[in-house]
Amino acid sequence: MDLLTRKSKDGNLINMALRLDTSLQYIKGVGPKLGALFLRHGIRTVSDMLEFYPRAYEDQRAARNIASLKLGDIVSFKAQVVSVQAIKMGRSQRKMYDVIVRDQSGQIRCKFFRVPYKGYFERFTPYKEVRVVGKVIEYRGKIEFHHPDIRDIDPGEENQDALIPLYTEIEGLGTAKIHRFIKTCFENIPDENWPPEKLPAAIVQKYGLVSRRKALELLHLPNPENANEYLVYKTKAHRRIIFEEFFWLELYLAAKKTGFTKEKGVALLAGGGKLEELLRGLPFALTGAQKKAFAQIRADLEKDSPMHRMVQGDVGSGKTMVCFMAAVLVFENNMQSALMAPTEILAEQHYNNAEKLLSPLGLRSGLLTGKTRATERNKLLASLAAGEIDLLIGTHALIEDEVKFRSLALVVVDEQHRFGVEQRGQLKSKGHSPHFLVMTATPIPRTLAMTVYGDLDVSIIDEMPPGRSPIQTRVIFESKKPAALAFMLEQIEKGRQAYIVYPLVEESEKIDLKDAVSEFQNLEKQFPKTRIGLLHGKMKPLEKEQVMAQFREGDLQILVSTTVIEVGVDVPNANIMIIEHAERFGLSQLHQLRGRVGRGEHKSFCIMILGYAVSEEAKERTQFLEKTNDGFKIAEFDLEMRGPGEFMGTRQSGLPGFKMANLVRDLSVLQEAREAAFEVLRKDSQLRFPDHQLLREELTRTHGPAALAGIA
């Protein structure tokens, strides 16, 4: 039992005085059973409970009837359930739910594209009285709700405050109960048990923030006067909490970045002519954007603190070339570079390019992947340690312990987002503070660049090599597929090559794989004279390599593939791509995929096919790609539509979990928090000021002692 509680005569626990770190089960009315339930959802202490923020607010003064609903309104009204229907979405296992509700004035549809929790819809039996809270949106000329709150009518409802916080239900534990526990918390924390502000007073003042305590109170015990601001997450309470969430992340990144500038690395000397030799040998001139990016890289390399830079550029913008130029500079300084790619195919392609472009300069490259044979590998590792390899290219096999360099001065990671953010440091540790470069083709929206990559400098290659015409894109439904195939065949008859891509979605990997394989067999039957190849992730590396080589050489005219070709494959003669089940991809992913075409002199096409029964909404979303080839615009739109987790790929998003902050909605607060965090370290680069001690503690608490390693 906690020191702060005692047992009453009837054996119940009574709160004496709570602290923020008091275990939740000691709150009046909670107890061990509910305590365990909260714990399962990550809510252990009073503090966790107070950080269980309302997901929305219900403005009861906005209550009205269905007939009076207008587009864009955030409303609350009583209604009666008419029906609940589960509708299958396409061929996938997923379902959407349609809950229809009515009142005397009319009826309206509430759509759910996911199930809030198990059993959620089972409560909605016909005729049941419910309260619906949500935002009115329009779809195909009709108004409806997407994911509104539908909840049971509370008995004492009519007497409630005009503005009610709504909490996400926890395993059936309703919002009213949760609110009651939170109120109990507030009532039992005495003033002296509120911890001091962690944010420095100067920042609180400069950014006009309310105190944390005040913010928490305002969020959970809202003031109806400001209802409109609550409904859009724009009260000063929201701003304070969001600011703080961003601030901790930005402070961590700022500390890392400040630490980098203090690291001692190797300053490379200006080159002695090999770079010019490389450029003279190229069949093309560098674009202005490539020159600019390289100039920035070169300036970094010539400093004795290591570079930490990200090169962002759309697929085909020529990032690899820029990386090679940096490797040449390192080579001229008698040191080594490493280039890590996310797939074997891509590593091999880089290696082939290096052999072609760099070996004439005397630069020796090596290739190390998971499939490199033991004898070959041993030889390679020995040469590497002896300094007889100047550029080692490979997959994450490069990270392994046995891989030792003589003098590693540059680490390049291609397509960073496929490696977890944590892996960034692993390769780096193989050298003595080597320079570090990330190349990414995912145009990362500004907000994400400021968070996940906030410790890196950025170079943007925003210009394509000349002579590339934009890819013409069409989104069609499955029924039009024969026409698409006919069009593809026309292109093939003109000597071009084609990709047909199938998505590989982890949850249904087997089915998708079967799709690709059976499509391949169908096509072979349908077009016996056309040379068709199949490429998928389950094939042996050697087989994959053979197929890729055949396609590259033009021996294959059509390549049917799962998304293994997503990154980096370069076959300029391929000018048409058909993407099946485009609805399953994110827009940025689709954009990256289609970047495989449009790499040569021929006009290029991308046809995106939507599966059966795909919603109009998915179609509209995908059609954004018909309108633009600008990766940044697409990324911003994609982020807005799908949210950051999905955007980055749910698996390893590398994104910090925010409880309230939203990267799309709260951009301006993010900018302020970033500015504030960097300002702190500019003034006090070791966080030694008395006013900054709590910052130190918080950084160590959240990110471990390593967070301070760079600046201590």
Residue 14 backbone zone (phi > 0: left; psi -120 to 50: alpha; other: beta): beta
Please, which residue, 470 or 704, has the CB nearer to ligand ADP?
470
Least distance to ligand ADP, CB of residue 637, Å:
21
How many whole angstroms separate alpha carbon 338 and alpha carbon 435? 10
Among 25, 184, 188, 317, binds ligand ADP (CB under 6 A): 317
Tokens representing 188 are 């039992």
Least distance between ligand ADP and beta carbon 461 (Å): 7
Task: Answer for the pair 502, 584: CB distance below 8 angstroms, yes or no.
Answer: no
Q: Which of 5, 76, 175, 287 binds ligand ADP (CB under 6 A)?
A: 287
Segment near ligand ADP (CB under 6 A); pick from 312-320, 473-481, 530-538, 639-647: 312-320
596 vs 588: CA distance, rounded Å: 13
Name the binder of 485 from ligand ADP, Mg ion, none, CB < 5-8 A by kind: none
Supply 646's token pair: 């999905």
Q: How many CB atoms lie within 10 A of CB 338?
A: 28
**Token pair listed for 254:** 């700022």
* Near ligand ADP in 428-447, by CB under 6 A: 441
- Given the complex with Mg ion, which of 266 and 339 has the nearer CB atom? 339
CB of 394 to Mg ion, least distance (A): 15
Is the Cβ of residue 321 or residue 475 nearer to Mg ion in the bound state? 321
Task: Compute the 3-state secondary structure of the chain and give helix, strand, coil in percent, each to the nearest 5.
Answer: 45, 20, 35
C-alpha 670/C-alpha 246 separation (Å) is 6
Residue 31 in contact with ligand ADP, rule: CB under 6 A: no
Interface map 464-493 toward ligand ADP (x if CB under 6 A): -x----------------------------
Is residue 579 near ligand ADP by the rule CB under 6 A?
Answer: no
Nearest Cα neighbor of 591 from 559, 650, 633 is 633
Which residue's CB is nearer to ligand ADP, number 284 or number 477?
A: 284
The only residue of 286, 513, 613, 660 in contact with ligand ADP, by rule CB under 6 A: 286
The region of 90-98, 285-293, 336-344, 428-436 touching ligand ADP under the rule CB under 6 A is 285-293
Q: How far apart are CA 144 and CA 142, in angstroms?
A: 7
Distance of closest approach, residue 291 Cβ to ligand ADP, in angstroms: 9
Report 594-613 residues binding ligand ADP (CB under 6 A).
599
Q: Determine the Cα–Cα distance for residues 75 and 57; give it in Å rounded to an integer.
A: 10
Return the number of the residue (333 or 395) whose C-beta is nearest ligand ADP: 395
Contact 266, 335 (CB under 8 A): yes
Indicate whether 279 belongs to the interface with ligand ADP (CB under 6 A).
no
Reading phi first (left if > 0) and then psi (alpha if -120 to 50, else beta), residue 119 is in left
**Residues in contact with Mg ion by the rule CB under 5 A:** 568
Is residue 284 at the binding interface for ligand ADP, with CB under 6 A as the rule?
A: yes
Rounded to a whole number of angstroms, the minimum distance from the CB of residue 447 to ligand ADP is 23
Distance CA 251, CA 238 (A): 20
Give dist(CA 18, CA 530) in Å, integer: 75
In whole angstroms, the minimum distance from the beta carbon of 43 to Mg ion comes to 44
Nearest to 453 by CA among 202, 684, 620, 256: 256
Q: Which of 308, 319, 364, 418 binds ligand ADP (CB under 6 A)?
A: 319
- Site residues (CB under 6 A) for ligand ADP? 284, 286-287, 290, 313, 315-321, 441, 465, 570, 599
